[in-house]
Amino acid sequence: MKIAVMVSGGGTNLQAIIDGINSGLITNTEICLVYSNNPKAYALERARLAGIPYVAKSPKEFENRQDFNKALLQILKDADPDLIVLAGCLVVIPSDVVKEFEGRIINIHPSLIPSFCGTGYYGLKVHEKVLERGVRVSGATVHFVDEGTDTGPIILQKPVMIRQDDTPEVLQKRIMEQAEWKILPMAIDLIANGRVSVRDNKVFIEGYEEENIF
């Protein structure tokens, strides 16, 4: 399975995918493209060091959003991935891209959806809101992408306990380490091996009942 990974920043989830492929944790998978809307994203350096093709195109390079959307769609079509992985990508995915790759785009979100998700909930903002609300458990979710914001079918979730002295930065790091870097590679491997299906907007995983998936 060929995957395109879309990123905007440091690329820690991208690195988790690269490491997962190299270690055999993720099987039957190769990264055919890393795309970033941010030409200065360190994620692009991770791609370069790993010998993975990469493209950086910012919406600022185009006269209008429509032209950018067309260019992004063409970049992805040229790469011809079986799956697109949003790994810390802060660009709103155009509806044309969602339609072209329907059922073949997944995203990692740093909370337990449906809590703390949707418009405006991204990056550190999620963890700030979690701590403001005083909840005891947060975590991460991998889900399919549809035309809503964080509304697609959920594939995997992993909870992370919140500590009394957590700051948004500390919580963000722990959720990355304990949840995001584990369930995103796992979800990719499950999809690559044909174990994931969607029926009535719910995800079914072959063998999920019989094994301790974590």
Task: Give dist(CA 109, CA 142) in Å, integer.
Answer: 6
Domain annotation for the chain: domains and CATH numbers:
2-205 (3.40.50.170)
* AA identity, residue 88: G
What pLDDT, on the 0 to 100 scale, is given for residue 191? Answer: 98
Q: Catalytic positions, please? A: 109
β-pair partners for 138: 160
pTM: 0.94
Least confident of 122-126, 168-172, 184-188: 122-126
pLDDT at 214 over 60: no
The pLDDT score that the predictor gives to residue 212 is 52
Query: How many whole angstroms separate alpha carbon 202 and alpha carbon 11?
Result: 29
Mean pLDDT of the chain: 94
Residue range 192-210: mean pLDDT, rounded = 89
Least confident range from 91-95, 146-150, 201-205: namely: 146-150
CB-facing half-sphere around the CA of 86: CA atoms within 13 A: 27
Which of helix, strand or coil describes residue 106? Answer: strand
Amino acid (one-letter) located at 205: I
pLDDT of residue 122: 86
Band of pLDDT at residue 147, cut at 50, 70 and 90: confident
pLDDT digits (tens, 9 = 90+) for 13-71: 999 999 999 999 999 999 999 999 999 999 999 999 999 999 999 999 999 999 999 99
Tell me the longest C-alpha to C-alpha distance in the chain.
Answer: 53
| DSSP-derived 3-state class of residue 100 | helix
Q: Which of 44, 41, 31, 30 is nearest to 8 (CA)?
A: 41
Instruction: Select from 125, 128, 75 the least CA-distant residue to 97.
Output: 75
Q: What is the pLDDT of residue 145?
A: 96
Query: For residues 17 and 10, is the Cβ–Cβ distance under 8 A?
Result: no
Neighbouring residues of 64: CB distance < 8 A, sequence distance ≥ 6: none
Q: With bands split at pLDDT 50, 70 and 90, how would you rate the model's confidence at 148?
A: confident
Query: 36: helix, coil or strand?
Result: strand
pLDDT in tens, 85-135: 999 998 889 999 999 999 999 999 999 999 999 888 888 899 999 999 999
